Chain A
Amino acid sequence: MSGSLAASNLSVRYETPGGSVHALRHVDIEAHPGEVIGIVGESGCGKSTLVTAMANLLPANARIDGSISWNGIELAKLDAHRQRLLRGDEIALVSQDPMTAFNPVLTIGDQLVDFQHHRKDLGRAEKRARIAAMLGRVGISDAERRMHSYPHELSGGMRQRVAIAAALLTDPGLLIADEPTTALDVTMEAQIIHLLRELRRDYNGIIVIVSHHLGVIAELCDRVYVMYAGEVVESGEVDAIFHDATHPYTQALLACDPARFQQKLDRLPTIPGMLPNLTQPPCGCVYAPRCDRVLASCGTVAPPLVELSASHVARCHAVSS
């Protein structure tokens, strides 16, 4: 099953006793089958809200404005039953710590059989055969034996492989990987990155990689959305973002990553200042208080969406002038 994912002017706010938290504001995202898109940003940038909105798992106190659609179907307007169907069938989520995604008292095999409950056409043996094939595909060599393991018997990297296998079993059109390597060691991280890249070859759905790790995004994605304080401040082809970043925040974020510098630095670059309070988002640019290229209009007028090339846009006054 394949289709396109599109969010346009999507805003999400959480109603809390302390006021509304505007977690996402007018976000535009587009992804087509076969693409790997990356969503990058630091804590508090709204990437987890965006993921939960895509997977239709927003909590009850969330209010959605604008649209987010999958294959032309407006996700927010679906009833609970159809949402569940869609999640089980077409949208799959791989989370940061797969340990919490598995039931600790059932074997991996039993759980993966249950994941296919919507495939009424398959018998138990067929389902187990599919699992074995899928585990092999994610690089687990002794699949038959692993199916009899319990989640705690697997290492972190192995669990992440199983989680990816589980997500792919339903043959989803949209695979969302939320910080898929954050809990792993570097050597395991490299293996999972490699695995995800291999999977692309014969998977024609959309993969969404959400991460704060610039290296992971650069390794895996075709197109990147850079988020800050609930807004997409810049988006474009991965090469344009990493080599031709125009938004001051993207530039600052890239400059902060110590992995970019081969020579020893005496001082590591930082971004001074703090995130704005999202209960009262600033009326101008969200990044203005920390920006080093701030103009008079930045504090009062919301910055325009500047088209730098067909696919490269930035939301910034300084870029437009």
Chain B
Amino acid sequence: MNPLLTVEDLSVSFVRKGLLDRLIELEPLPGFNIIDRVTLSLMPGETLGLVGESGSGKTTLARSILGLVRATAGRIAFEGKDVATPADFRAMRRRSAMMFQDPIASLSPRLRIGTLLSEPQIIQGVPTPDRRAAAAALLSLVGLPSSFADRFPHELSGGQARRVGVARALAMKPRLLLADEPTAGLDVSVQGDVLNLIGELKRQLGFAAMIVTHNLAMIRHVSDRLAIMYLGRLVETGPTQEVFSAPRHPYTATLIQSEPLPDPRRRSHGPAVSGEIPSVFRRPSGCEFHTRCPAAQPRCGAEAPAYREVGAGRMVRCHFPLETSGQEQEAFSRASANKKGKTT
């Protein structure tokens, strides 16, 4: 099977220019890569979880895939065809959809839900004889009564606005859904609702999804594969279950360990990682994680590790990937627990 979406060496860089630089424009300044040579692919019908903390560039990556942020380098292919020109991006956007982080803010505030739901058809010139009926059908698809068509966005609760966002995203039967933090701001009891809905519709309609999130507990249950980002680079990819049970990159391991468990009998023994997330404008030399890595060696600060395959479908960017055996894992967590005893 061919991938639905391929991203190769995609970079997005912001050049920070002062006034003087702009006036003289001697030489192109070295840009700061918000996204740095990201390579990933998505199979039809697959769900990829794109995980990272704030500042990791996960939202920028999602936006650059759809052409909302212009990539400075790299290649994107959708359904086997290269996406390069604005017309290509337009064609791709017709076959894909994006859900934004804030569901209410992504709905035009002065329009009613019914109008918002028929907008995709109006814009793309799809003849729709009965727009009200089409809107009602979309609303029922996401489990909302058709009376919601007369409401305004601010009259919805967070969960309901999410559902409307899903309905709007699916109006044009996309092949690809990009969801940016689809559960942000939702209570746990509602969060499951929205994710179940997306999962159900995925089975029904067969689209592929990329879910951008920092919520590990959630993504573990809804994704097939995971891609972990740190400072604009992918540090690890692999099947979700494998990544969770045996993370190979120390950053992935610390992320999993940092998640507080809802169990007072299994309290953590201290933070798995110390220090602050550096800024992309001051990217550490060598491996960008070496400043915080509990297993860092001298080599890590000097030489950037390659992004290499360490098993079937597992990629990792680390000189010393963690071993898969349980003992090593244990040793790692003990080492990290000791280390922070000193730092904090």
Contacts and interface: CB of A to CB of B under 8 A. Distances in A.
Q: Do chains A and B touch in the complex (CB under 8 A)?
A: yes
B251 to A, nearest CB: 9
B271 A215 contact: no
Contacts of A194: 268, 270-271, 340, 344
Interface in B187-209: 187-193, 195-196, 199
Contacts of A155: 276-277
Contacts of A219: 260-261, 264, 267-268
B187 A215 contact: no
A125 interface: no
A265 B263 CA distance: 19
B240 interface: yes
A169 B216 CA distance: 35
B306 interface: no
Contacts of A157: 276
A289 to B, nearest CB: 14
Given A158-B276, A218-B267, A265-B221, A271 B189 contact: yes
B82 interface: no
Interface residues of A, number: 49
B217 interface: yes
Interface stretch (A6-14, A20-28, A93-101, A252-260): A252-260
B189 A187 contact: no
A268 B254 CA distance: 25
A257 B262 contact: yes
A190 B191 contact: no
B52 to A, nearest CB: 9
A174 interface: no
A55 interface: no
A269 interface: yes
Interface string B233-276: 00000001100100000000011011111111101101111101
Interface stretch (A56-64, A115-123, A237-245): A237-245
A186 B189 contact: no
Contacts of A139: 344
A193 B268 contact: yes
A82 interface: no
A271 B186 CA distance: 13
A304 to B, nearest CB: 25
B149 interface: no
Given A191-B274, A264-B221, A218 B344 contact: no
Give the interface size class of chain B. Answer: 35 or more
Given A43-B187, A213-B260, A218-B264, A269 B276 contact: no
Contacts of B276: 155, 157-158, 188
A-side binding surface: helix, strand, loop or mixed? helix
A215 B192 contact: no
A212 B187 contact: yes
Contacts of A285: none
Contact of A257 (B188, B241, B254, B258): B188
Contacts of B277: 155, 185, 187-188
Contacts, number: 140
A158 B276 CA distance: 8
A267 B271 CA distance: 31
A218 B188 contact: no
B218 interface: yes
Contact of B272 (A190, A243, A258, A265): A190
A185 B53 contact: yes
A198 B265 CA distance: 18
A270 to B, nearest CB: 4
B54 interface: yes
Contacts of B257: 190
Given A185-B53, A186-B259, A193-B260, A258 B220 contact: yes
A195 B260 contact: no
A256 B189 contact: yes
With most chain B CB atoms within 10 A of its CB, the pick from A43, A215, A242, A268 is A268
A212 B189 CA distance: 11
Nearest to A221: B264
Interface in A194-228: 194-195, 198, 212-219, 221
A239 B189 contact: no
B196 A267 contact: yes
Nearest to A213: B260
A42 B344 CA distance: 32
B214 interface: yes
With most chain B CB atoms within 10 A of its CB, the pick from A185, A265, A267 is A185
A195 B344 CA distance: 8
Contacts of B263: 218, 242-243, 260
Given A194-B271, A268-B221, A238 B264 contact: yes
Given A187-B272, A194-B270, A264-B241, A256 B260 contact: no
Interface of A: 42-43, 139, 155-158, 185-191, 193-195, 198, 212-219, 221, 238-239, 242-243, 252-254, 256-262, 264-271
25 contacts: A42-B187, A157-B276, A185-B214, A186-B216, A186-B258, A186-B259, A187-B254, A190-B268, A190-B273, A191-B274, A212-B188, A214-B188, A215-B260, A218-B262, A219-B267, A219-B268, A238-B264, A243-B264, A253-B189, A254-B262, A260-B263, A265-B221, A267-B196, A268-B218, A268-B222
Given A190-B273, A191-B344, A259-B261, 12 more contacts: A187-B53, A189-B260, A194-B270, A212-B188, A218-B264, A219-B260, A252-B189, A258-B191, A258-B221, A264-B221, A264-B240, A268-B191
Q: Which 3 A-B pairs have the closest CB atoms?
A: A215-B260, A268-B192, A259-B217
